[in-house]
Amino acid sequence: MNDPSSTTPSPSALTARVLLRHPLGWLATGFGSGLSPRAPGTVGTAAALIPWWWLRDLSLPYYLGAIVVAFALGVWAAQWVVNRSGVNDPQVVVWDEFVGVWIALIAAPAGWIWMLAGFALFRLFDIWKPWPVRWADRRVHGGLGVMLDDVIAGGYALIVMHSAGLFFAR
């Protein structure tokens, strides 16, 4: 079935080398963090905190703009990996975790505790998948589906973060 003249690798040929040699694979894997043999989602979320450290200094409109651009690029990159792997939501794709945790940390109060809280809350909602996170995970496919459930999980974490921020500001 595989056409030897085809430039698209078979799912078994989608190796770390193939992923990291292409800009979309490099982005989709969160600069390689999604290639972790254990807990790639958690490793990807932790890796996302490195660029966030600089993103957090942007004004809110620029921060939100960066998230929109990162989301659009993520849909494209995730679709590239989905097309090549034949897997609807490949574990190596962790750019969705990057965008999700960046959403969780929108306008987060300063301090390491808030960064860690955003990380933990995002992972909680990403793993637990309350409605509509679970719905998006199961019903929306392709690059959009890969990204959408983490965007919603990030939104849940954002709501809890800011609610906690209001509570502790008293």
Q: Of the candidates 47, 71, 73, which has an alpha carbon nearest to the alpha carbon of residue 150?
A: 71
pLDDT of residue 1: 42
- C-alpha–C-alpha distance, residues 33 and 48, integer Å: 9
- C-alpha–C-alpha distance, residues 100 and 105, integer Å: 9
Which is higher by pLDDT, 166 or 97? 97
Sign of the C-alpha dihedral, residues 124, 16, 26, 137? negative
Q: Which amino acid is at 1?
A: M
Per-residue pLDDT of 103-149, as tens digits, reads: 999 999 888 999 999 999 999 999 999 999 999 999 999 999 999 99
Percent above pLDDT 90 for the chain? 81
Q: What is the dihedral of CA 53, 75, 123, 160, to 10 degrees?
A: 80
Q: Of the candidates 35, 124, 40, 24, which has an alpha carbon nearest to the alpha carbon of residue 75?
A: 24
pLDDT of residue 13: 53
Q: Of the candidates 34, 30, 47, 46, which has an alpha carbon nearest to the alpha carbon of residue 119?
A: 46
pLDDT of residue 4: 43
Tokens standing for residue 160: 């809890």
Domain ranges (residues) in the chain: 11-168
**For range 64-82, the mean pLDDT:** 98
pLDDT of residue 101: 98
Per-residue pLDDT of 1-11, as tens digits, reads: 444 444 444 44
Which is higher by pLDDT, 157 or 6? 157
